[in-house]
Structure 1
């Protein structure tokens, strides 16, 4: 198939998805799909919440497990702005923690290696310096050791330095309020049709999935019906209204400082750039008009 034919097919599929969404009822399932991007097509993710899907056989990333059995429950300071209880999952049993990561280059990626199998359980905070201000995340390391280990590894490789956050949505645009970062390929200009597809070239299993995305919760992104496809992209929940989506995401922690700054990035759809050329067809690349850039991240 030629490049022009491929573009034509993508445009047609994009139009068909728009027509179907316009006719669909606003059921709770539909709301969840809008939020987390169920319905992966041509190895891209609808709805903008990222994860690429590897299909079939023993290579299915759903079989990739982060084997974590920490000896204590997680500790994280709950955000004062969150009105919904945020309690980390309780580990199944005590014992050493071993993490498993699997190479996946089925979509565009920036591969800097695979994280080690033994996480640093002493990491408790992630401080992100944006061009717009500082955000501190209290990590749930005991409940999500392999998630924290992955983020820390990528940060040591300077993976996130000067990276643009590609997706910002408000309730009037998508029914939810969130900021999404972590795509190394993203341009966040409202023009690049493939924003939201980029990865670090590997996947790993789910952890700490019992927490609904209340205001201040930071979680990893995956397609709506996917499992075990966590990677480099993470999401800040900026409203308690997001809890209508329910639990199921790998939660890494809770914002303890800088949440008001994040919420203030966009007050309505007028602060956003809607990418009509987005080939996922579900607003996954709705970008902030004023760029939001990760300058650096520090773990402590």
Structure 2
């Protein structure tokens, strides 16, 4: 049984059926800003324990998650030392060798830089996000999400993310989820713009690696509407809470493509600063009407993907 099969089996056997509608992404707002509800659940961090105890093979590819506790936990999500040894069998069997990207025909605001190549770079190992608060280094799941990683490598080379703002901060207290969302090239991140979270690169692509990495603290995943599978663009979120594991119990389609190796202290600093309620109404974020922006402005200076 490979890593992905083992994880799915463990999730099916051990994770309770916690109902929690999915996270807001580009497609949520562009489709008439349909309502997106979120609920808090006790025991949402249970998957962390299940994965650590039931699937030893998983830790060969991804670092161990930090103890649950959200903002009260340690500053780092995963080990910030050298990356763990890679499972060679996983790299030998990538999820795809050819990628398909298609035009985004929804009419949303875009920053066009072209289309990624159909042949993914299977050697990409890390993605480094330089922000105005410090650097975040992400270990990429290239073998499991090659087309996602390929898209980020392409956009990074095009300087797509340079000088963009992270537009959304979701906290467990307000929405039942803990994540910092970025990747909208046109976002203002001020808690006032109704269009924040609608921007993209002008193309979309299919989901990958669903169930391959739990949505625990430190996981990095793609953002899209809860009912809009296979509509990935450029937006992504970084989890700073194990509360996000509830998303997996309902089969939410958010492609996990990496884990933070270094820089969770940067994310924690931003999270602790709190959020600006969208137009003064924190529940507007829950309803999918706008984004609760981080009070501490987050500017991505540069993104690089390296081997």
Count, aligned residues: 246
Where does residue 102 of structure 1 map in the other structure? Answer: 102
Give the one of 63, 66, 91 matched to 1:78: 63
Deviation at 1:108, TM superposition (A): 1.3
Alignment RMSD, CA only? 3.4
Deviations 1:243-262 (A, max 9, x none): 12215321110001011220
Deviations 1:55-95 (A, max 9, x none): xxxxxxxxxxxxxxxxxx9974425526699x999699679
Where does residue 215 of structure 1 map in the other structure? Answer: 217
Supply the distance in 2 between the matched residues of 1:39 and 1:144 (Cα, whole angstroms).
Answer: 21
Where does residue 51 of structure 2 map in the other structure? Answer: none
Where does residue 240 of structure 1 map in the other structure? Answer: 242
Mapping 1:41-190, distance limit 5 Å: 43=31, 46=34, 76-81=61-66, 97-106=97-106, 107-190=108-191
Deviation at 1:185, TM superposition (A): 1.5
CA contact (8 A) 1:74 1:143 kept: no
Supply the distance in 1 between the matched residues of 2:163 and 2:36 (Cα, whole angstroms).
Answer: 21
* Structure 2 unaligned spans of 5+: 1-16, 38-57, 69-76, 79-85
Range with bigger deviation, 222-231 or 250-259: 222-231
Q: Secondary structure at the match of 1:266?
A: helix
| Alignment TM-score, normalising by the size of structure 2 | 0.70
CA contact (8 A) 1:212 1:245 kept: no
CA contact (8 A) 1:115 1:153 kept: yes
Q: Secondary structure at the match of 1:264?
A: helix
Deviations 1:215-256 (A, max 9, x none): 100000111122211110011011112112215321110001
CA contact (8 A) 2:94 2:144 kept: no
Where does residue 21 of structure 2 map in the other structure? Answer: 32
Supply the distance in 1 between the matched residues of 2:305 and 2:35 (Cα, whole angstroms).
Answer: 30
CA contact (8 A) 1:217 1:253 kept: yes
Where does residue 10 of structure 1 map in the other structure? Answer: none
